[in-house]
Every structure is written in structure tokens, then in C-alpha cells.
Amino acid sequence: MSTASCSLTMSGRVRLISASYDAQRYDSLSGYAQDLIEVIDAVGATDVLLVAHSVSGMISALASIERPELFKKILMVCPSPRYVDDGDYVGGFSRDDVLGLIAGIEANQPAWAASLAPAVTNRDDLPEVTDRVRGYFAATPQHVAKHFARVVFLSDVRHRLAEVPASCVVLQSTGDIICPPHIGSYLRDHIRDCELVELKSAGHFVHLTEPALITSHIQALL
């Protein structure tokens, strides 16, 4: 595929995201959970083993509460039930941090993407992965990126964790600025059936930096 055709493909994807994004539906994580349920229903699946990264872990948790018969096990990679500090709970961000992040997207999204990508991947030895993540951040339509960031980083699923019916496995990496390592222990202690696996790997995007490691855990569950 030529460079020109790649650019057109990316441009087409950006237009599709921008046109189909429903800000009202996605004003909470429940909208995404409903999407997940609809996809599973569409393919007629049950007893699903779901692999979910970051906030998708909590989206999957909410979906399993809504439709427990659909999920057998959820493998969560670097998830967090709340990103903002709250009393004794340390999520890793203050509300001002989140508002600053959103302001950065609005002021200069390419510069924001370029500064955030190396911090969240935390792997100087894998610049190609950092550049891939930077590209994802930069290509997302700005209004979608801002709204998504606000919804995700200000979400709070802690009060629903005890309701999660599915068996869960949390894969927690080190050096993750999005999801500090102690969050894995918090989830283990608040979800009824939850195993914590601490990975010897850094960063929030461990499924991109060390895909074989994540694959081995998926295979173990299968």
C-alpha cells in the first residue's frame, strides 16, 4: 500500500469516527458497555472470555453486571475504576490534572500527543510503539478526544465492583502513570472473583510493547 493510500485510509477512519460519535450516548461508560453488549448479541456469543485494556476493563465490568450470562471471564490489562484521587483513594490524578490534559488537547493536539505518548508507553527502547501511540492520539478528532478524556478520567466505577459477576484476572504493569501499580490490588480486593497478576513490564500499553507476554496469559486462560 502506498503512502498516499495509507493517508486516505487514515483520513477516512477519522471522518467515520467523527460522523458516528454520539456525545450523548458516550457521556458515561454505560454507553460503551451497551455497545459491547450489542456486539456480543450480534454474533450470538455467550460465556465470552473478554480481553480488555485500560478503561475497557471497567466498561466490560459494567456490561457483565448488565448481562452476566454473556461473560465467563474478563482479562483486564492495566484497568482502573477511578483515575482521580478521592480522600484516601489514590487514583494518580487530581481534577486539575484532568482539566489540564483536556486543555492540552484543545490548545495543541499534536504537541499533546507527542508529549503524552512516551510517558504512557514508558519504553525508550521501543520508539516505534511510542510513535504508534502518538499517531493514535493525534489522529482522533479533537472533539472526540476531549469528550472521551473527560468521561474516562472523571469516571468512577468503584461502587459497582462488588456487583461484577464474572471471574476477572487483572494484569498490572509497573511504571504506569495512567494506572498506578496499587490499583491492581484495589481491584483484587473489591471484585468478588479476581486474580491479580503483576507483570514485569513497564508502561500502560504493555499489550503493544510486549504482545507475547499478554498472549501467554490469554492462552493460559484458554
From 53, 54, 80, 201, the catalytic residue: 54
The residue assigned the cell 458516550 is: 26
Active site residue 204: yes
CA 50 vs. chain centroid, Å, equals 13
Active site residue 176: yes
From 56, 60, 64, 204, the catalytic residue: 204
3-state secondary structure the chain: CCHHHHHHHHHHHHHHHHHHCCCCCCCCHHHHHHHHHHHHHHHCCCCEEEEEECHHHHHHHHHHHHCHHHEEEEEEECCCCECECECCECCCECHHHHHHHHHHHHHCHHHHHHHHHHHHHCCCCCHHHHHHHHHHHHHCCHHHHHHHHHHHHCCECHHHHHHCCCEEEEEEEECCCCCCCHHHHHHHHHCCCEEEEEEEEECCCHHHHCHHHHHHHHHHHC
Active site residue 217: no
From 53, 176, 201, 207, the catalytic residue: 176
Tell me which residues are annotated as active site. Answer: 54, 176, 204
